[in-house]
């Protein structure tokens, strides 16, 4: 039986994550209040940020930027899209 959480991003009950996807207190907060669907939305947004900003995730500055954007995306006012970003046309 899967666990459910009251998802902070989706504002509804949804299937919870199987494990904390990030270390530390933030990871526990994500595990407790972010759904699988919301986490997948963040992963897609994070990929766009990495690509558009040409980030190298192993660099401390890039990691700090991504962590800040993750908190804003999941729990805050949302993470901004880079000015130069053009969504793919399907």
What kind and span of H or E run contains 31? helix 24-33
Rounded-to-integer distance, Cα 69 and Cα 61, Å: 12
Residue 9 lies in a domain: yes
- Give the domain range for residue 21: 4-75
Residue 83 lies in a domain: no
Instruction: Assign 1 a pLDDT band (cuts: 50, 70, 90).
Output: low
- For residue 19, the domain's CATH number is 1.10.3880.10
pLDDT (tens digit, 9 = 90+) per residue, 50-81? 999 999 999 999 999 999 999 999 998 887 77
Residue 86 lies in a domain: no
Number of domains the chain is built from: 1
85 — alpha (psi -120 to 50), left (phi > 0) or beta? beta
Amino acid 77: pLDDT? 83
Residue 44 lies in a domain: yes
Residue 81 lies in a domain: no
């Amino acid at each position: 039986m899967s666990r459910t959480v009251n998802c902070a991003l989706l504002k509804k009950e949804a299937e919870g994550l199987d494990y904390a996807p990030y270390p530390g207190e933030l990871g526990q907060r994500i595990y407790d209040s972010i759904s699988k669907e919301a986490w997948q939305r963040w992963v897609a947004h994070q990929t766009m940020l990495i690509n558009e900003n040409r980030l190298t995730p192993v660099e401390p500055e890039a990691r700090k930027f991504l962590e800040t954007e993750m908190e804003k995306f999941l729990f805050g006012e949302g993470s901004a899209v880079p000015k130069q970003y053009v969504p793919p046309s399907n």
